[in-house]
Structures are given as structure tokens and as C-alpha cells.
Chain A
Amino acid sequence: MTVTIGAPTTYRRALPRRTPDNAGYFDSLKAHAMKLQKCANGHFRFFPGPICPRCSSLEFEWTPVSGKGTLHTYSWVYRPAPGFEDTIPYCYALVELDEGPVLATNIVDTTPEQLKVGQRVEVVYADVTPEWTLAHFRPVQ
């Protein structure tokens, strides 16, 4: 599903910096079909990088992932970071994907009362500007 946050021209939050190492990831978000690097020996990794931290393989393919995972931990933020002033509180979270890697993200479509560590979550593609789509997560309904 797609969520558009604010008008594109007013998006003030930090944006990634595209590099040859991470472009495959952000391109996949733009296409609303998350892919992560999977090395020649089958290890997924995140954040995108040039070498497999487990086996040092330089070979990899951008490989589709389920977009489903488990809420490892989270923090409701009441004093916003720059650009987050319009959503207080917001939920910062670490999500462990079923494929293994952990993503830092925001949980959306939830409340402090509903959220629990260990909860199942799924990716939500947020088209935050014409150029950028980010991966947010929400509780699996």
C-alpha cells in the first residue's frame, strides 16, 4: 500500500544520500517492491554496502524480500527531530525482517497503547517526495 506524507515540496525530514552501493535498495522502494543485497553465499545484509559482513563476498544480487518482520524494539518520540514536528509522538523502531537484517524505521498506523515488542509488522511504502520512497512499517492487521 502507498502512503503519501505531506505535500512533496514540504517534506523536511532527513533523506538518504544515493550512492552506487545503496541505489538498488532505494530503487526497489521506489518500485514498491523491497529488495536487499544477497551475497553469493546466500547472506542478506543491511544497510547496503560493498561487501558481505559475514563471508566477505563481493558478489551480490538485489533480491526481493517479504517486507514482513518482527518488531525488535521501539521508542515513542515526544520531542521531535527536525522535520517530524507534524507527527508527535512518532514511533522510531528497529524491525527484524524475516530474512534476517534489521531496519531502522518508523511504525505508522498505530498508537502507543497498541504496540508491543515481538509484534508482526509489514512494510508500508511512503512516497515522501517525487524522488524518494522510504520503507515504513505497520502492524500486520
Chain B
Amino acid sequence: MARTFPMQDKVAIIGVGRSPYGRDLVGRTTPSLVAEAARNAITDARIPKEEIDGICGTHAVEFEDLQEHLGIPRITWTSNIMQRYQQSHQIIYAASAVFAGLCRTALVARGSRAYAGSSARTNPFRATADRRGSISRTPVETSLEFEGWWAHVGDAYGAWGARYMHEYKEPREAFGMIAINNRMHASKNPLAQLRTPITMDDYLNARMIREPWSVLDLDFPVDHGDACVVTTVEHARELGVDDRMVVLHAATLGEGKSGTNYYEQTPDIRSLATWMVADSLWEKSEIKRKDVQIFFPYDGFTFIALFWLLATGWCGLGEAHDYLKAQLLPDGATLKLDGRTYLSTNGGSLSEGASQGSNYIYEAVRQLRREVEPERQVEGCSAVLLTIGGIFHNGSGMILRRA
């Protein structure tokens, strides 16, 4: 079959690193978390820092900051993403840069001290997250475009979830099964923040936040820093680090017609960013659903993860509850899709901690390198599917495989 994606299997992630995750890391700044993650990623890649010649930062910690903090002498490619965009975007931008030859080895890093200046003890769960609004735009009370503001406090997700339930007769239990699965995986993950397993009764009785979403449908904000090192497969071999590289098989970004500030004009569910990403990703990939051992659908809300699951074709609209019930393992919590594919083996944003999907990349790389704790390691893990981003905007997808 003719390759429709020239970059297929040409770029690799050779290092991943992160800072500690925590609800309120008193004494830490965003730059300190991001720098620690970057240092750890370079160490993990087993290269000298001078090898880095391209950097992608964010509007919170820019490439200039990273270059200076890390003492990297010379870079030939630079980029900063918006803070509300994901590490998957950084990786895909970096992949295109190393593939095009603008640099050879790129560092990408992002993070957030979401609770800077406040304390989880004085700001009960969610209060701060609501007040924070979009971390990329301050202050939320005055400067946002009126419509965009709604989207970022999350009400739009509730409304679209309600529309999906109305139109396709999906019960809330479908979303609950995502929350329960992710928490069960988190219970086994020493890096996860929320490790007490939950039941469907817990889910259905949880405190309502934005109907139909209760507190167990929403991610768990944490302070965090995450980083990756990206280079070409060819250069990874020259560097002698190809034994642990993870190869980028297919990648895409995706936006539907009505993104971020215009989401209310979204004509229908099928025109959301999730479907743009899924359609594009499958076109670019020779690895298919049946070939992946883990699926990481971004779970800022349970609803987003479920939409990624629908968009990537595991089951049809309105069929998720029936489908997921048939994928349950005997523990009554863990999902194994089509008998082959685990879902969110680290616990995701819902339970490991919310880092805009960066934690999925960290977990994916380590699962593919087969270096997570033996009791969590997915046997024979050779390819994974990641779909990261919200439904209205910042969609992205990647298929990673073992070298």
C-alpha cells in the first residue's frame, strides 16, 4: 500500500521526563517544574544537553527561558505553543521540524503551577479550577471574548454532553464506565493522585457540578511539568540511542469548523474536532485499531474520552454503554476493548492527574519500552493510540510504536 504520510516511522521520541505531580506543590514555580521535567527528559534520552538544537516551550515558559535555564548553547528551531494546547502538539511540531531538517534534536516542555498563590486547603476541589478559567488568558473576569469565556469554564461541555445523551439516548453510565476504568488503573499506579477504586454507585451519587457532569466526570488538576526529546529515527541511530526509542508512526492535528471561541455554532457532533482528528489519523496510519494494545483518549472530562472512543470507531454513536459493558474484565471495572486494547493504563487526567494529556505520552512511551512496574506492564505492548485534546479545539492524534 502506498504511503500517504511521508513522515511515517521517520521520527522518534528518545526521552521522556516529568516533575513530581501534586495537588499543591508549595514552593515550586511553573519554570521550576518545567525545567526539572526537561532535565529529566534529556537524562532519559542519554544525550548531552548540547545535543539539543531546537526547543518548543509554551507561552508560560518560553523557549528562551528553557534555553537559559538549561544552559543550552545553540538552537536553530524555536516555537512556543499556547498554554492551553498540549504536549502532543509540541511533539508533532517538533517532529515536523526535525523531519524537515530545521533542527536535529528537539526538546519540548510544558507544565503548570495551576495553584500558584493559592492552596488546595483553602480552595476546595474545583473552586479554583473554575475561577482559573483558561490559564492562557488572564484575568478571566474581564478580558475574554464573551463567548469564549463560557467554553472555558466548561459549561459548554455539559451542554454538548446533554445534547449527545438526548440525541443518541446514551445513559450517564457510559461516562461512568470511563471514570471507573481510569480509577482502577490509577489504583495500581504509584504516580497517580487518586487511587481509591470507585463503583457505579459512587459515580451516580457523586456531587453534581455541571449537569450532566458530577465531580467524578471532571479531571483532577495538579501542578506538573512534562518534557520529551524528539529526533529523527536516523539521528537516534547516529546517537546510539535507538534501542529505547519510540517511533512516531502517524500523527495529526485537527480542528472542527467551530473551535474554541465559536463552539456554539458547531453544526453537529460529527463536525467536532474529535472526528477531524480520527479521520485524518486513520488515513495516515497503517497500524489500525486492532493493532494497538493501549488506547489513550484524553479525559479532561469523561465525556471527552468517550467522544474520542466514538470518533476513532470502537463503536457507534449511542452504542457506548452497551459496547463498554461487553468489554469489562472480571474485576467489573477494567475495560479491554475488543479483547485486545486497554484504556488509559495510568489513570489519565481523571485519576493520575491533569496535565493536558502529557501523562499519557509519558505512560505510552514507558509502556512501549516495557519499563513500567511489572504488575502494570501490558504484555506485548508494541503500538498505542493517543488522541489528545478537547472536543471543540486543540485536537491531536498519534500512533506510537516500538522501534
Contact = CB atoms under 8 A, between A and B. Distances in A.
Interface stretch (A1-9, A35-43, A59-67, A73-81): A73-81
A80 B154 CA distance: 11
Contacts of A33: none
Contacts of A17: 143-146
A102 interface: yes
A97 B158 CA distance: 20
What is the size category of the interface that chain A forms with chain B? 20 to 34
A55 interface: no
A75 B211 contact: yes
A92 B151 CA distance: 11
Nearest to B215: A79
B156 interface: yes
B162 A75 contact: yes
A39 B19 CA distance: 52
B147 interface: yes
A92 B166 CA distance: 16
Contacts of B126: 79
B127 interface: yes
B210 A77 contact: yes
A81 B152 CA distance: 10
Contact of B264 (A80, A83, A102): A102
Contacts of B142: 14-15
Contacts of A79: 126-127, 130, 209-210
Contacts of B150: 92, 104
Contacts of A103: 264
Interface string B149-168: 11001011011111100100
A58 interface: no
A75 to B, nearest CB: 3
Contact of B155 (A15, A72, A81, A83): A81
B120 to A, nearest CB: 16
B130 A81 contact: yes
A102 to B, nearest CB: 5
B262 A47 contact: yes
Nearest to B257: A53
A31 interface: no
A75 B218 CA distance: 15
Q: Which 9 A-B pairs have the closest CB atoms?
A: A75-B158, A73-B163, A16-B146, A92-B155, A81-B153, A76-B211, A75-B159, A79-B209, A104-B264
Interface of B: 126-127, 130-131, 133, 140-147, 149-150, 153, 155-156, 158-163, 166, 207-213, 261-262, 264-265
Interface of A: 12, 14-17, 46-47, 53, 72-83, 89, 92-94, 101-104, 112, 117
Given A14-B141, A74-B162, A94-B264, 13 more contacts: A16-B146, A47-B265, A73-B159, A73-B160, A75-B158, A77-B210, A79-B210, A80-B130, A81-B155, A82-B131, A92-B150, A93-B159, A112-B211
5 contacts: A17-B145, A46-B265, A80-B130, A92-B156, A92-B210
